[in-house]
Copies of this chain bind each other. A is one copy, B any other.
Amino acid sequence: MIRSAILGASGYVGGELLRLLARHPGIEAARLFGDSKAGQRLGVVHPHIGGPTGAIEVERFSLEALDGIDLVFAALPHGESQKWAEAILATGAKLVDLGADFRLHDQQDYATWYGEAHAAPHLLDRFVYGIPELHRDAICSAQAVAAAGCYPTATILALKPLIDAGLVESNSLIVDAASGVSGAGRAVKEGTAFNTVDGSFAAYGLLNHRHTAEMEQALGATVLFTPHLAPMTRGILATCYATAAREMTADEPLEALRAAYADEPFVRVSDAPPATKWVTGSNGAVVSARYDARTKRVLALGAIDNLGKGAAGQMIQCANLMFGLDEAAGLSAEGVFP
C-alpha cells in the first residue's frame, strides 16, 4: 500500500479523502494532519467516519511526521502550501495540492488575483495542473500536481474541447455557475448558515472571483465569471456562453465533446442538460453543449460534485496516475442518486 498523509484532514475535503481512501485498494491514509483540530478524534471531527479510523487523533503537522510517507494530499487554505511545498518535495514524496498556490504558472497572475507576492515562485514549474483529462501524460510523470479548483474543473471540461476545435471565440466567454455550500469550506459563518441559505439563491464574488484566473489560463481566453450559492450541500453546474466562431449545426459542439471524451472513464457527454445530482458523491462529470443559430452563441454545461471531481476525487485520480495505479482505483462515476 502507498502510504499517504493528508494535510488539512479536518476540513470537508479531508473528510472526503478519508471516505474514499477507506475503500481504495492501493493507497492508505497513514497520517492525518490538521492544526485547528489537532488532538481530536477523527470520529468526532468527521461524524461519518467510524470504526478504528474514527478513533485516530488528528495530528499537528511536522515535517518529521512525513517519514515513510509516499504521497501527500494537501487541502489547505491558499497561501499555506507554498510554505511547505519545497520541504515536502525534498522528502521525495509526491504531492497533490488542492490549494491555489501552484495552479497559476505566472507568479504575476498569482499576485494579481490573490493580492500578495508568491512565496515560492521557483517551484511553480514543478507543478502540473491537475485535470487528468487535459494533462494525463504530464501528471503520470510529475512529482507535484496542483489539482484544479472546483469551478474551473466544471468549466474547463465543458469548454476546452470547443476552444480546441475552433468553435468559439476565446475573447467572449461568460461563465455563470452555481455551487453547493460545501464549496465555501467548513469555516462557520452566517453566509453559510442553514437559515441563510435554505430556500435561497444568490450570486457572490461578482467580477473578481479568483477562479477566473485559472479558467483564463487553462482556456487561453478572457472570462467573466459569476459564481452563485445554491441551497444544496454538494454540486457545481457551470453554464458557459461563448460567441460562435462560425455557423454550425446545433449539435456540432456536442460532437466535439463526444470526440474529446470518448475514452474517458469519468466524463460523460449528455444530450440532455445535466443535473448536479447525477454525480453527487462521485468523481464523475457530465458535460453538454449546443449551438444557438438565433443568437450565434454556443452554450456549454458542465456538472460535477465540488468535493468529488472538484476536489478529493480528482486528487485521487491524479495520485493514481502518478503512482501508475488504475486511474479509477477507489473512485466511482455513479452519483448517489436520488
Contact = CB atoms under 8 A, between A and B. Distances in A.
Contact of A196 (B230, B280, B290, B338): B338
A47 interface: yes
Interface in A18-76: 18-19, 22-23, 46-51, 54
Contact of A194 (B54, B192, B223, B241): B192
Interface stretch (A90-98, A102-110, A139-147, A293-301): A293-301
A195 B12 contact: yes
A337 B47 contact: yes
B200 A332 contact: no
Contacts of A152: none
Contact of A278 (B47, B193, B241): B47
B294 A207 contact: yes
Interface string A215-237: 00000001110101011111101
A276 interface: yes
A286 interface: yes
A198 B338 contact: yes
Contact of A333 (B50, B182, B226): B50
Given A48-B277, A239-B176, A203 B301 contact: yes
Given A19-B332, A207-B294, 17 more contacts: A19-B336, A19-B337, A22-B334, A47-B337, A48-B334, A49-B334, A176-B226, A176-B239, A181-B194, A182-B195, A196-B338, A199-B233, A200-B276, A224-B295, A226-B299, A234-B338, A280-B336
29 contacts: A15-B337, A19-B332, A19-B335, A22-B334, A47-B274, A47-B277, A47-B337, A48-B336, A174-B297, A178-B201, A182-B338, A188-B190, A192-B194, A193-B194, A194-B194, A196-B275, A196-B338, A198-B233, A198-B277, A198-B338, A199-B234, A199-B235, A199-B277, A200-B277, A202-B275, A207-B294, A224-B241, A224-B292, A231-B231
